[in-house]
Structure formats: structure tokens, C-alpha cells
Amino acid sequence: MYRAYLSYDGGEVEVPELAPDSADGLYIDSGSGGIEGWRSAPDLKVTLTERGAGNGAHAVDASRILYSARTVTLHLHAIGDSREAVLALMDAVQRSMGRPVRLRVVDGPEDTYADGYARVEWDSDRDCGPEQWQLGTLTVVCPDPRRRSTSAHTLVLAPATTAPGGLSYGDERIGLVYPLDYGAEASEAANYGVIRNDGAAPAYPVITVSGPMPGGVRVDCGTLSLVYPQPISGVPLVLDCLSRTASIGGVDVTRNLTSRGFPSVPAGGSATIVVLSVGSGWVSVESRDTYI
């Protein structure tokens, strides 16, 4: 048995799978088609160039294997003990029209969601004896074809030190200043960690840097580096690896990045994130299992 949740600003509608003993409510009718387009990949957006001499076409690089928007269709079945009850169920879905929606589907151990916009279409009025019922279809178009896990993998990393190390020589750099200062002690929180992706497509984490970080931040992942050299104080810096952008308080500051090696987490794999910065803030990394 699976169930779907259609959420929007101001409400959420739960739609379980219809069963023979189901009570009055709104259901997904598997007999009419259930959910279509949720597990199947969307249409490919790949252009082949045929070989002028030789069989077949030229090979396609992995970065050029792209997909169209995801279109999901839910076949609905509304059941009530009166026409008023059925109309109330229909209205709960109608309220999602004209606004962004999130479609979440729980199917056994897998709990994923996709964002988009919706359209509902109801069949002609139905009347089946003492019980009223209505059939319809809900279509959700998701511009981003990825499905993501509702629960996230998270890391919280700290700078390796809170201040430069070494002995203090004073302002005049003549002799040692007592008591001696050997630099900051190592932080209890590690400056590196591993983030996972148990999905079937690459995941793109969101990295949030909270200050104070007076010298900015550097985040490494393998051979890739993200460097933001400007001070970070009260408002966090958000690095979105999918859109390859940096923002502070909703303002785009991508132009300030001096290195733009945005990392991804491979399907069914992991990535090591390292923070190479000085400060007393922290860096949080969030990644979700991703599917196409």
C-alpha cells in the first residue's frame, strides 16, 4: 500500500491507495491507473549526431544526458456519504490550484517528493445508490524531474581552528609576550565529514556557512574547491550546488566566489567535505537521496 501527500501553502491533502474496505475519503484508484509518471524517467532531451562514415551516431557525454520535466498523474476516487461530503473532498484538492505544490509519495521504505504545479480534472457527476462518489485525475508538472528523499543526510563541520596558531610576539615583534599563547586548541567538532547519497541519481547538497568567519570560507570536496573570501557574520552564506549559486539573506553573491567547484554526491555513493577556514562559526551540509 502506498499513499500520496499533496501540500501547498495553507494546506495538505493525504491520499492513500483505495482498498476494498476503505471508508469515506479521497483515494488513489489503482484500478483506474494509480500513479503514473512517478517512478518512470521523464522523456530524454538528447540530440544524436549521426556518423558521416560508419555505423550509428557519435557517443554522448554523460553531462549531455538530460531529461524533460516530470509529469505525474494521480487517478483519484472521492467517496462520501453525501454529495456535500464528496464536494468537500474535491474542494480540498481544488485549493492547490494556482500555487506551488509538493507531491510526496510514501511507497514502502521509500519516501520521496517532487515540487511543481497542479491541475485537477473531475469526471461527470456520479451517483451510486446511497453512497456518492466522484472520479478525477490530478496532474502535477515538476520542472525539476528529480525526486528527493523527504529525510536528509546532514553534516555539521567546524573550522580546524578559531584563530591562527603560533607563539605571540607582541606588536613590536621583540621578544615573547607572557603568558605564552600557543594558538587555539583543536575544536571538538571535526572539520571534515562524509555525506551519503543512497539514491539512483547524483545529489547536489546545500552548504550553509554560519559566521563569524572573518576570512570567509573554503570548502573542499576532492579536487573541487568552493572559496568565498568575504567575511561572514550574522547572516549565513548559502551555497546551492544544484543552481551553482551563493546567496546571503536571499541576495545573490555568486560574483564574490573566487573558486566555483560545486560538489555533487554520486548515486549510491558518498563524498568527503572538508572545511579549510579560520573562525568560530560552523558549516552545515544537507544532501538528499535523489532519483530520476
State the pLDDT confidence band at 261, using cuts at 50, 70 and 90. Answer: very high
In this predicted structure, what is the pLDDT of residue 31? 85
Q: What is the pLDDT of residues 6-51, one digit of tens each?
A: 999 989 999 999 988 788 899 999 888 999 999 999 999 999 999 9
101 or 165, which is more confident? Answer: 101
Question: Rounded CA gap, 31 and 87, in Å?
Answer: 22
**Residues 84/138/17/131 CA torsion (nearest 10 deg):** 20
DSSP code for 280: S
Report, as an integer, the average pLDDT of 72-83.
92
- Please answer whether residues 187 and 280 qualify as being in contact, where contact means their C-beta atoms are separated by less than 8 angstroms: no
Q: What share of the chain has pLDDT > 90, as a percent? A: 74
Number of H helices, E strands in the chain: 1, 22
- Please answer whether residues 93 and 76 qualify as being in contact, where contact means their C-beta atoms are separated by less than 8 angstroms: yes
Q: What is the largest CA-CA distance in the chain?
A: 98
- Please answer whether residues 27 and 77 qualify as being in contact, where contact means their C-beta atoms are separated by less than 8 angstroms: yes
Question: Is the confidence at residue 187, as pLDDT, over 50?
Answer: no
The H or E element spanning position 283 is: strand 282-287
In this predicted structure, what is the pLDDT of residue 22? 81
Question: Rounded CA gap, 184 and 257, in Å?
Answer: 28
In the chain, the domains with their CATH numbers are: 2-145 (2.40.30.200), 153-291 (2.60.120.860)
Mean pLDDT rounded to a whole number for the chain: 89
Kindly report the pTM of this predicted structure.
0.84
Question: Rounded CA gap, 169 and 181, in Å?
Answer: 9
Label the pairing between strands 131-142 and 70-80. antiparallel
Q: What is the pLDDT of residues 202-253, one digit of tens each?
A: 999 999 999 899 999 999 999 999 999 999 998 999 999 999 999 999 999 9
> Residues with Cβ < 8 Å from 217, sequence gap 6 or more?
209, 226, 227, 228, 232, 237, 275, 277, 279, 283
Phi, psi (deg, nearest 5) at residue 20:
-60, -30
